Chains A and B, each alone.
Chain A
């Protein structure tokens, strides 16, 4: 328990002022003071490779490494809760370090209110949502070690960020209005020309390139299933190596094309309830017709 509290305190400290973990554990206060004076002055925090090379990791550090492993190889390290072939890093590019590619240095903006589920969302709930919707799996419990580890990794990435202010190049860019509706037919043509080389003609993907639709892709409840968000992501990050080569309109068209494809259903809807409602409607309608 004591260890746990210590790790929590450290996470807090990380977010609060950009203290360095190294600064805290080595009691090298000059480094810590420097970073308070100038948050942009990046403190030499240990890289993941350095952490992996160490012979002993404390609770927080081992969780950071575990979280990194989950983000990079989700099916291997958090396979208990995933339901498709996507990995965290499929959308949070380069392990969540790519600006404009859903970077993960977001610990400072949680907890926050989200219109999606109309409750205050802690970082834990946000991570659990990702497992349920984007990874189309089972929602892990709050205290699941996988959730704690990814939270620790997000805190590690968020060093030096300011609480309450979204980090720069957060999420994906919002594309300006093009005054033309997104057109899935034109999007299909763009997809065949620019995307199908890697993602496959049927969006099936080949490891490590993620599938874009079908049973092995994100569900209809995922954030990427929104056209604006997907368009911003595509424009800023795709095709890999030729980022921002598509026009805004082309990106929106491709997003609309992806939106129309078959993918796992939205887990928000209870399937049996929907079925019961259909049957009820059908029964009541037919009885109304009988009366007439």
Chain B
């Protein structure tokens, strides 16, 4: 492809493609988007809490990042604040500034910008191809590990504790178990327990909307408890007023003085960029197999990167595709990016209308929702097929262990590494089918022939130099130059010893 054609195809990916507008069912898309928006609001608030920023930032992420990603994207994928991305943003920036301080906010915005730029870089070098090799076992493992992290991070909020810091997640449970009578706020614990138990009970009945129902249940419980005992005696934490603007435009503060912090954040920025893209592209790949519309992975990469680059200018943080919100939109019949765009606008509208009610949203109920989201991410049903397979089971377990004990960033890189290693190990397996018919040896090869997988074949061929051999490569999908040079050597050797090698190529 000439440079000009390459530039033209890049430009085609970088411009919004609205070819979906032909034959779109506007009513269905609007309905799907609005339902998704109702679900997105509690999630946005929770994810902003995970990042360590006020709830407005999360809502802006569910609005602006989602809108830009849908406008430039090609699929019905719903983007916005994402669990793993949010946790990692918070964990990264807390090393450089106190949680929630102005410097912290600046750093989150800079980090989001970095993540977006790295993703645009990945788009330019056609990196979306690489994400094909991220194994489903690793992704399910990351999701389960994040679920465990979510449940533990919901602990403080749901029991009314001050923030605990611990090296490993299980240490928090020790603290709570040994000090429960002094630490646990019974009012907060009641609210979160009712939220979680109610949510689990409703999950079977309303699999799509149980989160919202559980939040309603928890809020009503909270209102009764706070109303009866008063905010002072019950000490139940409330969300506080959420003040939204229609266009929260701002200019992120970047100056050379931030360079040291930028340098320090860079490795994690790469991890977040990769993680965000992985999730978005896995969803996009999923849509490609299920949905009718055409999904372009490169275009989705660009859309996600652009949305994250622009996120700090709309006073919000980076996001990525969302599994559960995309699922809800799909089940409601969304087929085009229109649903995502309508949903983004609806988030702002609904949050604005609900504003006064949101003020008295009890934080223990939100923490209970966080735990429910965490429980929902650990899907034993999805994991079972991996566990039955030895290699995938190993990838899955290693990923969960790394994410929970070594940290999310280490876990992601390790998961990528392990899935690549196992992929290579699997790809370098070659099967031979050897048949002998009246002095003629017929070898049917199955697999990939490359430098790492040639050993056994070359041993076998070198062992009997006087044989008459037919090498059947019709079921070989890939053959590299070292394989050809091996055939060359063997042919020459056979000529000397009176044997023969015939190669049937595909």
Contacts and interface: CB of A to CB of B under 8 A. Distances in A.
B11 interface: no
Contacts of A117: 232
B240 A81 contact: yes
Contacts of B258: 56
B101 to A, nearest CB: 5
A143 B163 contact: yes
Nearest to B94: A1
B227 A3 contact: no
Interface string A83-108: 10000000000000000000000000
A177 interface: no
A146 to B, nearest CB: 8
B101 A145 contact: yes
Looking at A7, A138, A140, which has the most chain B CB atoms within 10 Å of its CB? A138
Interface string A138-166: 11111111001100000000000000000
Looking at B163, B232, B257, B363, which has the most chain A CB atoms within 10 Å of its CB? B232
Interface string B220-251: 00001011111111110111111100000000
A267 B101 contact: no
B102 A62 contact: yes
Size bin of chain B's contact surface = 35 or more
Contacts of A148: 98, 100-101
Contact of B363 (A1, A58, A141): A141
Contact of B241 (A2, A57, A79, A142): A79
Contacts of A145: 98-101, 104
A254 interface: no
B359 interface: yes
B237 A56 contact: no
Interface stretch (A30-38, A229-237, A269-277): A269-277
A63 interface: yes
Nearest to A140: B240
Nearest to A54: B257
A138 B360 CA distance: 8
Given A138-B359, A142-B162, A66 B99 contact: no
A270 B233 contact: yes
B97 A80 contact: no
B257 A56 contact: yes
B231 A267 contact: yes
A119 B350 CA distance: 41
Given A79-B241, A81-B241, A143-B162, A267 B255 contact: no
A148 B103 CA distance: 13
Contacts of B363: 141
Interface string B101-114: 11110100000000
B99 A143 contact: yes
A4 interface: yes
A117 to B, nearest CB: 8
A200 to B, nearest CB: 25
A144 B100 contact: yes
Given A270-B230, A276-B228, A55 B255 contact: yes
Contacts of A205: none
B98 A56 contact: no
Contact of A56 (B95, B255, B359): B255
B230 A271 contact: yes
Interface in A53-80: 55-59, 62-63, 65-66, 79-80
Nearest to B231: A267
A128 to B, nearest CB: 10
A75 B363 CA distance: 21
A249 interface: no
Contact of A7 (B98, B102, B238): B98
A269 B230 contact: yes
Nearest to B224: A272
B101 A139 contact: no
Size bin of chain A's contact surface = 35 or more
B257 A3 contact: no
A132 interface: yes
A276 B227 CA distance: 11
Contacts of B95: 1-3
Interface in A106-141: 117, 132, 137-141
Contact of A268 (B99, B102, B230): B230
Given A1-B94, A62-B103, A63-B98, A80 B54 contact: yes
B169 interface: no
B352 interface: no
A58 B103 contact: yes
A144 B101 CA distance: 9
B229 A273 contact: yes
A189 B106 CA distance: 52
A250 interface: no
B101 A59 contact: yes
Nearest to B163: A143
Nearest to A4: B98
B147 to A, nearest CB: 24
Contact of A63 (B102, B230, B231, B238): B102
Contact of B232 (A4, A132, A142): A132
B227 A272 contact: yes
Interface in A6-47: 7
A79 B231 contact: no
A58 B258 CA distance: 10
A82 interface: yes
B96 interface: yes
B59 to A, nearest CB: 13
Given A62-B102, A267-B232, A272-B227, A55 B240 contact: no
A196 B10 CA distance: 68
Contacts of B239: 138
Contacts of A81: 240-241
The 8 closest A-B pairs by CB, nearest first: A145-B100, A56-B257, A270-B230, A80-B240, A272-B227, A62-B102, A272-B228, A62-B103
Interface of B: 54-55, 94-104, 106, 162-163, 165, 224, 226-235, 237-243, 255, 257-258, 359-360, 363
Given A56-B257, A270-B234, 17 more contacts: A1-B94, A3-B95, A62-B101, A66-B101, A80-B54, A80-B240, A137-B240, A137-B241, A139-B237, A145-B98, A145-B100, A268-B232, A268-B233, A269-B230, A271-B227, A272-B224, A272-B228
17 contacts: A2-B95, A55-B257, A56-B255, A59-B97, A62-B101, A62-B103, A66-B101, A79-B243, A83-B241, A141-B237, A143-B100, A143-B162, A270-B230, A270-B234, A272-B228, A273-B228, A273-B230
Interface of A: 1-4, 7, 55-59, 62-63, 65-66, 79-83, 117, 132, 137-145, 148-149, 267-273, 276
